[in-house]
Structure 1
Amino acid sequence: MYLNIIFLPLAGSFVAGLFGRFIGGRGAGLITICCVGLSCCLSGLSFYEVGLGGAFTYIYLMPWLDSDFFQVNWSFCFDSLTVVMLVVVTFISTLVHLYSTEYMGEDPHLPRFMSYLSLFTFFMLVLVTADNFVQMFVGWEGVGLCSYLLINFWFTRVQANKAAIKAMLVNRVGDFGLALGIFTIFITFGAVDYATVFALSPQLVSATLSFLGLDVKCLDLIGILLFVGAVGKSAQLGLHTWLPDAMEGPTPVSALIHAATMVTAGVFLLARCSPLLEYCPNALNIVTLIGGATAFFAATTALVQNDLKRVIAYSTCSQLGYMVFACGLSNYSVAIFHLSNHAFFKALLFLGAGSVIHAVGDEQDMRKMGGLRRLLPFTYAMMVIGSLALMGMPFLTGFYSKDVILEVGYATYSSVSHFAYWLGSFAAFCTAFYSIRLIALCFLCEPNGSRTLTLSASESSWPMVTVLGLLATPSIFIGYLGRDLFIGLGTTFWGNSIFSLPSNLSIVDAEFMSTSIKLFPLCCSFLGGILSFVFYFNYKQALFSLKVSDWGRRLYTFLNRKWLFDKVYNEAINQNVLDFGYHFTYKVIDRGLIESLGPFGLSNVLLSQVKQIREIHSGFLYHYLMALVWGNVVFAVWFLFGIPSPHVLSLLIFTSLWLTL
């Protein structure tokens, strides 16, 4: 059963990819949906057995790498953390597959698309079930490859090409850090399997290693390098620039990437490595700072974005910041709880946005929408549910996890945690503001788009509507139903899959903190939502006047251009690297040194030698006879008296040439 969970999506991907031209788009969709759906059902059974029953499972498949002390096996670990991720990944993936058969139904390359989706799911399952870092890295790189293929699915579009290349290159930076972390783990522990590394971590707290000429603690270095990998994959501040541009791919791709697979891999890595990170206090402080800054940065940037999918993409970046700084505060269970909750309402938002875009002729600019609540009532209701869950409104899924993250941030009582708490609270205000702004511009304001497209808008077909309804249910209830199981005091659900030092536990302190501190993030959310509703209904002219004012225009430009990160990267880094590559490595090394010593130099030497030899050939027979005679003389002298001295040899050669000419 457990291996079927992993390999059924791979089988569906192979069938759809290799035989798609024979079975057609509908056939490929049916096969992949059945394979991933069956994997989802088996994941539910594994959740019951492993998560609720406590029957942790380890499966050894076969040996893989065996070189002296370096040994890696193909083996799979199913514990509480794994089965939670399995349920989330397979459930969201099944619904995205079903949604895609209708959303992409007119695309002639639907079999290829369904094959990529299933392959994406397979690599994510490999990542979360691996029992060692090398096997995890295979899944890690696999989801990166599939993201490139899916973002670039419409490969005739230049922007899709650019976005896919950008996603691949930015993730390579993070992957390089993760690879260095795995190398350092092997150097420090002599093994790469989780069990050995996590068991030995307390014994090597004081171990040091020379890195870039500095003596640093091994565990702190490992923690930082692993976090660099998480920063790239989970789009944290610094390596976040690929995530908004990934919206160039089809909408189902965005839902799968943002809700359940690629961007959650970094948070999963931090939670999986909790027995190691707990002994890296300096690394955890960095994780907390970056997570809090990311939540604030992405929330402020989303305030002024006009592309529907881009707003939701920045909200993903912001929510990932919450999860990351929860991991930095050693509350890994709270981070995973928010990850699973976020997956449902974020998939609902993206697929609802896809339904809106599908209805208005592929228009994504919210300023050209409006008035869709009467034309798309069901989609409107689903988007409202998703937006309210994202805002953390009471009794919806997001409320039960996001507020807990902020509470433990304050209850840790350190300068780093309070920094994350206040930035996270202001990010909650911005989240509510842009969520209501999205609803207002798309559904509540007067129509601003083309009359033809607006009047032709209608609800999507039954597969898309069914998927939205299935996602709305957990977006409302799953937070309430899972709170006591995942993060309740005294719960034994996680077992040994997540570890926190007793000194780092702050969930108990969060229960007894001041009520005003607990309610402050919720008040920020209410205030942001109310201000957004009032401004976009009664004071649009005031907003416009604010935007065109001197400082308002500067602020709007700064936020709309994503805090100028792309500008800084392009002008300060990318352009200088390209100039260096052209003027030095290309002109000096490739066109200069290598070609001078290589093909051009070799050809020039051969041509000059051939020209000199050709001039010796006069064409007269007696010249050749004389050369033959003197050659025989030189050979005879050499044979009888040994090798002549250089002076005698030079005299013989000079005499022969003089007589010949």
Structure 2
Amino acid sequence: MNLPLTAVTCYSLSMLTLLFPLISPTSSHFHKNTKTAVKTAFFISIPPLFFMINESFQTTLISWKWFSVLATPLDFSIQIDQYSMLFSPIALLVSWSIVEYSLWYMHNDHKIQLFFKYLLIFLLAMMLLVSAGNLLILFIGWEGVGIMSYLLIGWYFTRSNAGAAALQAVLYNRIGDIGFLFAIFWLISNFDSIDFNLLFAMNPPTPLIIAFIIAAASKSAQFGLHPWLASAMEGPTPVSALLHSSTMVVAGVFLLIRIHPLIKDNSTALSTCLCLGAISTVFAATCALTQNDIKKIIAFSTSSQLGLMVVTIGLNLPHLAFFHICTHAFFKAMLFLCSGSVIHNLNDEQDIRKMGGLQKSLPITTSCITIGSLALMGTPYLAGFFSKDAIVESINTSNVNAWALIVTLIATSFTAVYSLRIIFFASLSFPRFNPLIFSNENNSTAMNPIKRLAVGSIIAGLFLNQTLIPSSPMTLTMPLYMKIAALLVSIMGFLIAIDLAQISWTKVSHQNLSKSINTSFYPSIIHRSTPSSFFNFSLNTSSHLIDTLWLEKMGPKGLASSQLPPVMKNQEIQQGLIKTYLSILVASLIICLIILQLA
């Protein structure tokens, strides 16, 4: 069978299937048609994946002439390779589950059709980003997911926090866009090409690669550009699941994977990725430990896992970063959907301290939360184990920055602590909510997506491990303690979490650590102190420098003050003694006449 032709055909059919509900006349069943379209696109994208597993597959590039800038042709280029063929079915499967879940979660929203249109456009932009053959098409998909994330995060626009969170996401992503555009313009002006195949043959300067890293850091919420990720929880839960599982937030890491041939020989870029990822993963894990909002705990865990992916890029292992993207998509989307189910059944309660005992009233949801949390911890034979175990093994056998690697291992142990904290507060102990609240799991539209993702969280790691990890036999020479390091770190975090549960989690805390350590004081520093300082500086500049100095002291007051001294001198000389002045005048005239007569 002609695998490239099959891959291109299936990709084209998938995109057309997703596009069909948008171009067809709007009907009252648009939201249901959207679910059918995403489901159909998923099944269409599967055949090339199985053929790729059984046969060797080379990259297929489809290019259409579009336009030119100077001497640089800017084509509409689509690249079908291992990454796009494997990621597309995963993104479509996760999106199918989220779209189906949204039918239940958003059924009372009177703008549900517009909501599903936004979801479809978001998914189309993500598919375009994944399969882009050059930087221009990737940037179009990049901006597409950014714009739609703004609209989806701010869906509840009547709430001020939602509008502020949407604007915050846009502003932080604009920083990355500056880096991305700088790289594109530099390549156009100096290299006359932005196609990946041609870029990989060049030796780029370090500032160009740093610009790409800045772009990735803003989109993937790395340290310094991270506050928007937790704020994005103001959007509906399906939006949180879509943005923070397999789509928008991994776009930055996916960019680094795409341009990895440019990074692999640049020690500065690799060290930057390693250190940035290590700092991001440990601070996000620390923030997750102090949160009480169930959605924000999961959001910070996403940021921590993104930092782990960037660390893997810094270790020169892009295929492991991509492996973790794929496994992470299943259990993270499931955790968000489970949190939405809990919040919905508890009348919009998101504080985990007001939950408890849900294993009796919501057994399926709490079971899936447990599966997702265990997969996030890296429990053996679940999806997260295969990718995290390989990453931790690579960390232990590498010879790069030791402190960054130690910090990453500490963050990995923190993962077990906050994962068990969710299980402890949500599922175990006694109920801490209103006993009159009625909760049930009878709606198959809500439960089927969660069950589907739970199956993926269990078996996806094994399947992807056989697909992505090289099948050639390798001689394992690492010591046993290195081999089981990931498991040991998770067990250590698990034991710490159990100890904390017995000591402090059951006591009333008089300190609100969720606000004091929240995103490492960034809301106070970046969003309040810095704008306040700039505002005061601008106010002083306008009032003291422009208004006081120019308009007053150098204007009317300046003119008056410059003319006042000579006037005062004249006043001192001319004191109004008219007789004296007349006598002096007469005396002066007489003296002048005498002098003239004598002459």
Q: TM-score range by the shorter chain?
A: 0.7 to 0.9
Alignment match, 1:430: 414
- Whether 1:257 and 2:257 are equivalent positions in the alignment is no
Alignment match, 2:490: 525
Partner-residue secondary structure (3-state), 1:407: helix
Paired residue type of 1:343: A
The question of whether the paired residues in 1 share the 8 Å contact of 2:392 and 2:485 is answered with no
Q: Residue 8 of structure 1: CA displacement?
A: 2.7
Paired residue type of 1:474: G
Structure 2: how far apart are the matches of 1:65 and 1:51? 37
Q: Residue 186 of structure 1: CA displacement?
A: 2.6
Q: Residue 293 of structure 1: CA displacement?
A: 1.0
- Whether 1:472 and 2:454 are equivalent positions in the alignment is yes
Q: What is the aligned-residue RMSD (CA, Å)? A: 2.4
Structure 1: how far apart are the matches of 2:512 and 2:365? 35
Q: Residue 280 of structure 1: CA displacement?
A: 1.9
Q: Percent identity?
A: 35
Structure 2: how far apart are the matches of 1:555 and 1:586? 40
Partner-residue secondary structure (3-state), 1:243: helix
Paired residue type of 2:267: P
Alignment match, 1:443: 427
Partner-residue secondary structure (3-state), 2:75: strand
Residue 467 of structure 2, aligned match among 481, 485, 489: 485
The question of whether the paired residues in 2 share the 8 Å contact of 1:50 and 1:57 is answered with no
The question of whether the paired residues in 2 share the 8 Å contact of 1:77 and 1:131 is answered with yes
The question of whether the paired residues in 1 share the 8 Å contact of 2:388 and 2:486 is answered with no
Specify whether residues 357 and 422 from structure 1 end up closer, same or farther in structure 2 by C-alpha distance, changes over 3 A only. same
Structure 2: how far apart are the matches of 1:93 and 1:457? 26
The question of whether the paired residues in 2 share the 8 Å contact of 1:370 and 1:444 is answered with yes
Q: TM-score, normalised by structure 1?
A: 0.78
Q: Residues 307-326 of structure 1: matches in 2 within 5 Å? A: 307-326=293-312
Q: Residue 568 of structure 1: CA displacement?
A: 1.5
- Provide the aligned length of Structure 1 versus Structure 2: 540
Q: Residue 275 of structure 1: CA displacement?
A: 1.2
Specify whether residues 45 and 484 from structure 1 end up closer, same or farther in structure 2 by C-alpha distance, changes over 3 A only. closer
Residue 388 of structure 1, aligned match among 354, 374, 378: 374
Alignment match, 1:235: 221
Deviations, residues 281-339 of structure 1 (Å, cap 9, x unaligned): 21111001001111111111100100010000000000111111101111011110011
Specify whether residues 364 and 589 from structure 1 end up closer, same or farther in structure 2 by C-alpha distance, changes over 3 A only. farther
Residue 512 of structure 1, aligned match among 477, 485, 490: 477
The question of whether the paired residues in 2 share the 8 Å contact of 1:230 and 1:265 is answered with yes
Residue 459 of structure 1, aligned match among 441, 462, 465: 441
Residue 283 of structure 1, aligned match among 259, 263, 269: 269
The question of whether the paired residues in 2 share the 8 Å contact of 1:51 and 1:79 is answered with no
Structure 2: how far apart are the matches of 1:436 and 1:58? 44
Specify whether residues 512 and 543 from structure 1 end up closer, same or farther in structure 2 by C-alpha distance, changes over 3 A only. farther
- Whether 1:420 and 2:397 are equivalent positions in the alignment is no
Structure 2: how far apart are the matches of 1:283 and 1:11? 42
Structure 2 unaligned spans of 5+: 1-8, 551-599
Alignment match, 1:6: 15
Paired residue type of 1:105: H
Q: Residue 239 of structure 1: CA displacement?
A: 0.4
The question of whether the paired residues in 2 share the 8 Å contact of 1:14 and 1:115 is answered with no
Residue 164 of structure 1, aligned match among 154, 163, 166: 166
Partner-residue secondary structure (3-state), 2:248: coil
Deviations, residues 610-641 of structure 1 (Å, cap 9, x unaligned): xxxxxxxxxxxxxxxxxxxxxxxxxxxxxxxx
Paired residue type of 2:399: Y
The question of whether the paired residues in 2 share the 8 Å contact of 1:13 and 1:116 is answered with no
Structure 1: how far apart are the matches of 2:155 and 2:30? 16
Structure 1: how far apart are the matches of 2:348 and 2:54? 44
Structure 2: how far apart are the matches of 1:410 and 1:290? 18
Paired residue type of 1:103: Y
Alignment match, 1:54: 56
Specify whether residues 143 and 392 from structure 1 end up closer, same or farther in structure 2 by C-alpha distance, changes over 3 A only. same
Specify whether residues 105 and 282 from structure 1 end up closer, same or farther in structure 2 by C-alpha distance, changes over 3 A only. same
Specify whether residues 142 and 579 from structure 1 end up closer, same or farther in structure 2 by C-alpha distance, changes over 3 A only. farther
Q: Residue 484 of structure 1: CA displacement?
A: 3.2
Q: Which moved more, 1:580-589 or 1:524-533?
A: 580-589
Q: Residue 38 of structure 1: CA displacement?
A: 1.8
Paired residue type of 1:482: L
Q: Residue 403 of structure 1: CA displacement?
A: 1.9
Deviations, residues 562-583 of structure 1 (Å, cap 9, x unaligned): 2112212124433234445666
Alignment match, 1:211: none
The question of whether the paired residues in 1 share the 8 Å contact of 2:277 and 2:310 is answered with yes
Q: Residue 377 of structure 1: CA displacement?
A: 0.6
Paired residue type of 1:329: L
Specify whether residues 98 and 541 from structure 1 end up closer, same or farther in structure 2 by C-alpha distance, changes over 3 A only. closer
The question of whether the paired residues in 2 share the 8 Å contact of 1:355 and 1:460 is answered with no
Paired residue type of 2:454: A
Q: Residues 185-200 of structure 1: matches in 2 within 5 Å? A: 185-198=187-200, 200=201
Q: Residue 345 of structure 1: CA displacement?
A: 0.6
Specify whether residues 60 and 539 from structure 1 end up closer, same or farther in structure 2 by C-alpha distance, changes over 3 A only. closer
Specify whether residues 468 and 586 from structure 1 end up closer, same or farther in structure 2 by C-alpha distance, changes over 3 A only. farther
Deviations, residues 518-577 of structure 1 (Å, cap 9, x unaligned): 3333223113223323433x4347754xx55xxxx5977642x22112212124433234
Paired residue type of 2:151: L
The question of whether the paired residues in 2 share the 8 Å contact of 1:219 and 1:280 is answered with no
- Whether 1:539 and 2:503 are equivalent positions in the alignment is yes
Partner-residue secondary structure (3-state), 1:363: coil
Q: TM-score, normalised by structure 2?
A: 0.85
Alignment match, 2:121: 119
